Each structure stands twice: as structure tokens, then as C-alpha cells.
Amino acid sequence: KKLLVVDVDCGVDDAQAIMMALASPSVEILGITCCFGNTSIENVCRNVLHVLKVCNRTEIPVFRGASDSLLGGSDLPFLHFGGDGLGDVPDQARPGLENLQGEHAVQALLRIISEHAGQICLVATGPLTNLALAVKLDPTFPQKLKHLYIMGGNMDGTGNRSMCAEFNFSLDPEAAHIVLNQFLCPTYIATLQFTYNNSLSMDFFKDLVNQNTMKARFMKKITSQWSHNKSDFVSYDSYAMAAAIDESVITDYLACSVSVELNGQLTRGMLVLDVNNRQKKTHKAFLMKRCDLEKFKKLLMLSLQ
């Protein structure tokens, strides 16, 4: 089995991505590390514990990580998935934090990856703060990873949190910059535009959440506020996870050296593609370009069965 560690800011799509990995017979999750993002760090931890409970997988350890960006002062004005990150479902019984591990997420990342050097795929679907802290504590951390999968950044200069920046990168641009410049392991990125270009229909979404299972009912509940005014279904984080589970889901990549804009008044947090390699970097990231949608849909359907 492929070994995964997942770093999330657990909103609805992170939840979907976790459920996809839990349902796949070809991967095993060794731990889930939490980062602020879609909601506060407390809510993120609670949401992950909630997802694991729904899936009967409470043996998977969950670790609390960064509550704020490297520079601090992150406001969270843009709430994709409600204040609690999982759709603000009224009267929902949510687990407490008793089952959270005592170890900090960054320490857990360093430990788990050292215990399985060269074997772990790290899937990061929130701001990259925990990963940036990990490489600062141990500069050899990235070379111990097998692959890194990221949902974040954008390809054409349009963002979803600001004019030019995607949510995860814009919440902690310095962290994204550190990770893209210092993680010299094979890195696969599902950008915002890639997810938009491979969005699914609302008819598919209905088939997905109307499956007659506990997991599908849970997903239907946490998406109910969000789903009625949408024209298509974009499960952002699920693309990064699907690629980690089955690399044949992604059928084309752009290999390119990348960086993150830190200073632009209008562009801070934007992913910058150095297609002509003017910075003369030797390391290239793989930006996902094309997706086998039939395979992707199968993984999604299976995740809620």
C-alpha cells in the first residue's frame, strides 16, 4: 500500500478528499495534520475527527498544527464552507477534541516522515504553514518524502480569495514560497484553474450524495447550504488526493519552475510560472493539466460508499 500523510484545513472538500483516501484499498493514511484555513484550527481539528468518526476510522491519529500564517494576522473573511468549515449544519453533534494527539502537527510530520523515509506521499490541501515550519526545523525533511501533492495556487493570474491569489496560497504566501522553493522532491500541483477546468456537473454531484449510505448522507448535509446555487461541482482538494491515490488519474502535466509573489500590492500570494526558467532553477514542479474524469468520478463515488 502507498503510505500517505495528509495536511488539511478541513473544509468540505478536504473532508471529501480524506474520505476518498479512506475508501481506497491502495493507500493507507498514517496521520492527518491540521492547519488553520477554511476555519479556525480548533474547528479544523474537530472537523477531521468528525470525518473519521463518520467513516469509523478513529484509529487514525490527528494532530493540531498552525493556528495562523508565518507572519501572523491572517483574517479569514472568505468562508467557502460556512463558519465551521463544514457547512454550519444546525443541530449537528460534533466531536470534542479529546481524541486529538498531544504531539504538534509539525513534530508529527517530521517524526512520521523520518520513520518511513522515502516512502511517504504528503498531500497538502490547506495553507502550507505546517510544511514550511517542518522544513525550517529539519531541512532534510523534503528529501525524505516520496512525493508531495498540493492543492493551491493559480495558473492564469485569477484568484478566488483575492484578485490574483488562490485561497490556500493567499492565506500564507511566505509558507507557499518556502515550500515551492525548498521542497525539491517530486511536487504535483492541482491549481485552481486545473480544478475549474475539470469541474463536474451538478447532476453528478446529486448522484454522488444521493447514494444510500451514511457517508453520502453526511456529505449531503454538509454541502446542503452550498449546493443549491451552484452551476457546477468543484471538489478542489479531491484532485490532489486522487492524483496521490492513482497517478493515472492525471493524464498530462506541465513541468515548470514555480514561485510565489510576496510583494505585489495586487498580486501577493499569486503562483508565478517561470515557463522560460529565467530564474535558472534546476527543480521543476508538475502542474496538473489534464484529468481522466471517469477515473476521478469513480474515486469520488467510491469515497461515499
| The one among 5, 21, 192, 242 contacting ligand BDR by CB under 6 A | 192
Choose among Ca ion, ligand BDR, none what residue 167 binds, the Cβ cut-off being 5 to 8 Å by kind.
ligand BDR
24 or 39: whose CB is closer to ligand BDR? 39
Active site residue 91: no
Task: State the amino acid at position 164 in one-letter form.
Answer: C
Interaction residues for ligand BDR, span 210-249 (CB under 6 A): 236-237
Q: Which helix (H) or strand (E) holds 2?
A: strand 2-8
Location of C-alpha cell 504528503: 122
Q: Which does 80 bind (CB under 5 to 8 A by kind): ligand BDR, Ca ion, none?
A: ligand BDR
The answer to whether 147 and 188 have CB atoms below 8 angstroms apart is: yes
Provide the pairing of β-strand 250-260 with 285-291.
antiparallel
Nearer to ligand BDR, 166 or 246 (CB): 166
Nearer to ligand BDR, 8 or 49 (CB): 8
**Residue 13 interacts with ligand BDR (CB under 6 A): yes or no:** yes
Nearest distance in Å: CB 126, ligand BDR? 6
Q: Which residues bind Ca ion (CB under 5 A)?
A: 9, 14, 125-126, 237
- For residues 210 and 220, the answer to whether their CB atoms sit within 8 Å is yes
Q: Which residues pair with 188 in a beta bridge?
A: 149, 286
**What residue spans of the chain are helical by DSSP H?**
12-23, 41-54, 105-115, 129-137, 167-171, 173-182, 192-197, 202-209, 214-227, 236-245, 293-303
Mark the segment that binds ligand BDR (CB under 6 A) among 6-14, 18-26, 66-74, 204-212. 6-14
**How many CB atoms lie under 10 A from the CB of residue 77?**
6
Query: Which listed option, Ca ion, ligand BDR, none, makes contact with residue 17 (CB within 5 to 8 Å by class)?
Result: none
Rounded distance between C-alpha atoms, residue 164 and residue 269, angstroms: 7
C-alpha cell at 238: 479531491
CB of 100 to ligand BDR, least distance (A): 20
* Residue of this chain nearest to ligand BDR (CB atom): 167
Q: Does 160 bind ligand BDR (CB under 6 A)?
A: yes
CB of 160 to ligand BDR, least distance (A): 5
Cβ nearer to ligand BDR, comparing 110 with 271 = 271
Contacts of 229 (CB under 8 A, 6+ apart): none
One residue of 63, 141, 167, 296 binding ligand BDR per CB under 6 A: 167
166 belongs to the binding site for ligand BDR (CB under 6 A)? yes
List all residues 6 or more positions away from 56 whose beta carbon is below 8 Å from its beta carbon: none
Asked whether 28 and 35 are in contact (CB, 8 A), the reply is: no
CA distance 241 to 254: 18
Cell numbers found for residue 262 = 510576496
Contact string 117-156 vs ligand BDR (x = CB under 6 A): --------xx------------------------x-----
Binding site for ligand BDR (CB under 6 A): 11, 13-14, 38, 80, 125-126, 151, 160, 166-168, 192, 236-237
